[in-house]
Each structure stands twice: as structure tokens, then as C-alpha cells.
Amino acid sequence: MDKVPVFRIADISFSYGNVSVLRHVSLEMREGNFYGILGPNGSGKTTLLDVMAGIKAPDSGRVLFKGKDIRNYNKKELAKGIALVPQEFYINFPFTVKEIVLMGRHPYMPRFGAASADDIEMVHYTMRLIEIEDFQDRYVTELSGGEKQRVVFARALAQDTPVLMLDEGTSNMDIRHTLKILGIARHKVRKDNRTVIAAMHDLNLAAQFCDHLVFLKDGKIVAQGPIDTVLNEQNVKQTFEVEAKIYFDEYSSSRRVAYRIGPTPAPIRRKA
């Protein structure tokens, strides 16, 4: 008998006031896979992750996490099951990098207790892995956008959850750190049978790291399934309204997306 899916999302819809953001979305996600959620700005990617993580409640439909309604988990249970790297990370208090990463261990610590030796070991291991140990004593308010994202990713890894969600989690990073972060996430999927769900814009990064793709547009699913099945010219055009060619690239050992550049618009002539 098949294992219970990590997520079973049944016909969920969500609106902000009169603005419909998600419309009758149904998905099933299983452990040991890297899922990419792709779509233009405003397609509902962030809201979908928030609903799946239990941060927002859908207007209709159900989200089952490991067979149980997400609404029936308490915050500590969810924090041990799902770690989210948000698209934006704002903090005005002068916490150090080490203190931020240690926050990922809070679900495992007694309410008024101190961090254990295992917690501290996990924090230092994670900081070394993400290459932020050299500035562990700097205040997070002093960091660049890319450095902050690396710190928040380290916090999520220190949380040591079976599910890791990335909401454009590498958008401010340079290409070296982007490849490293996504490589670590994929390693967690392959080695530890974790589940990674990433909202992404870059189709080529998605093609290189993901196993399954979900194409979203206007809050609806355009296509979903294994990458070799759904990453095609038709779905790219329908979702993003651009012409593209999909081919296999031996150097990266993955599918690649090449875009057709449209004609340059004529310059605006100003009246004399």
C-alpha cells in the first residue's frame, strides 16, 4: 500500500477581500521529491505556500499534512514538520547571525530552557555548511540581502524538518550561493528522503534541481507532474506568455529553456 502523501491539497481557494488569488487548486506531494512551483508575478505561488504551511487558512477546500488536516496541528507540531524560507525577511532588532540560526531550534527547546549541546552543534554545523560561520557574530541588520537569505536558509536547515519550503529563497543571492543552496536542498531530498517545495521564477534552475513542477497562472494550475512531462513549450507559453524552446543540455545534464526575444519597440518620437 502506498504511503500517505506528505501533502494532499483538495480543491482549495483563497481570496484577499474581493481579489481571488487561488482557485480550486488540488495537488498531491510525496516525500523524497523536489517540487518547483512556477508562475508569473501574482499567480499565487507565495499564497499557496502560506496555505500549505498553515500560515493562512483557505476559504474553501482542505490541506492534509501527512494525512491530518493542517488546522489540527498546533504551532510547535508544525514547526517540527515544516520549515519555510520566506521571500522577504524583515527584522529590526540587532540579533546576531548565530542567534537567528538558533531560532530554528526553538521547537525542540523547553519553553524557558536553554539550548542543549545538540542544539548548539546543529547551529554550528549548519553555519559551516552555508558558509556563514565567519560572520556569525555580526548583527543581521548589517547584512546584505543575499547574506540575510543565507542566514534564513541556515535557520530553516537547523530546524531539521521533513519538509522545507523556499519562497524565492535565493532571489537575492549570487549564482555561486544559489547553486550551493539549491544543491544542499536537493541533497536533503536524495540522502534523507526529505521533501522540498520551492516557488521559483527561473525555469532553468527549476529544470536543473526539481523532480516535479507545478505551473500556476491566475491562481489556477496550468500543468503539474514530472519535469520531463510538463516542462514543454506549450506549458511555458500558456503560463508565461513567452515563446521558448526546450532542449536537453549535456553540460548541465538537464533540460534547458531558451527564450525568443521579441522585436525591440520603436523609440517614442517627441514633439519638437
In the prediction, which pLDDT does 89 show?
A: 79
Dihedral, CA of residue 86, residue 110, residue 115 and residue 6, to nearest 10: -40
Residue 65 phi/psi, 5-degree rounding, is: -110, 115
Q: Residue range 127-133: average pLDDT?
A: 96
Is the pLDDT at 156 greater than 60? The verdict is yes
Cβ(225)–Cβ(213) below 8 Å? yes
- Report the alpha-carbon distance of residue 192 to residue 164 in Å, rounded: 12
Residue with cell 522545507: 164
Nearest to 5 by CA among 63, 74, 73: 63
Q: Where are the domains of the chain?
A: 7-259
Nearest to 127 by CA among 95, 99, 166: 99
Please name the residues in contact with 139: beta carbons below 8 A apart, sequence gap of 6 or more.
94, 95, 96, 97
Residue with cell 517540527: 80
Ranges assigned E (strand) in the chain: 7-16, 19-29, 34-38, 60-65, 68-69, 82-85, 163-167, 195-200, 212-217, 220-226, 244-249, 254-259
- pTM listed for this prediction: 0.92
Average pLDDT of the chain to the nearest whole number = 93
Share of the chain above pLDDT 70, in %: 96
For 269, the 3-state DSSP assignment is coil
Q: Residue range 191-206: average pLDDT?
A: 96
- Report the alpha-carbon distance of residue 255 to residue 237 in Å, rounded: 16
Q: Residue range 234-262: average pLDDT?
A: 93
In the prediction, which pLDDT does 2 show?
A: 64
**Amino acid of residue 268:** I
pLDDT band at 264 (very low <50, low <70, confident <90, very high): low
**Amino acid of residue 118:** D
In the prediction, which pLDDT does 1 show?
A: 43
Is the pLDDT at 111 greater than 90? The verdict is no
Q: Residue range 12-26: average pLDDT?
A: 96
Residue 111 phi/psi, 5-degree rounding, is: -55, -45
Cell of 78: 508544525
Is the pLDDT at 85 greater than 50? The verdict is yes
pLDDT band at 10 (very low <50, low <70, confident <90, very high): very high
**171-175, 199-203, 212-216: which has the minimum mean pLDDT?**
171-175
Share of the chain above pLDDT 90, in %: 87
* Helix-helix angle 117-130:145-159, to 10 degrees: 140
In terms of CATH architecture, what is 7-259?
A: 3-Layer(aba) Sandwich (3.40)
- Report the alpha-carbon distance of residue 67 to residue 4 in Å, rounded: 6
Is the pLDDT at 207 greater than 60? The verdict is yes
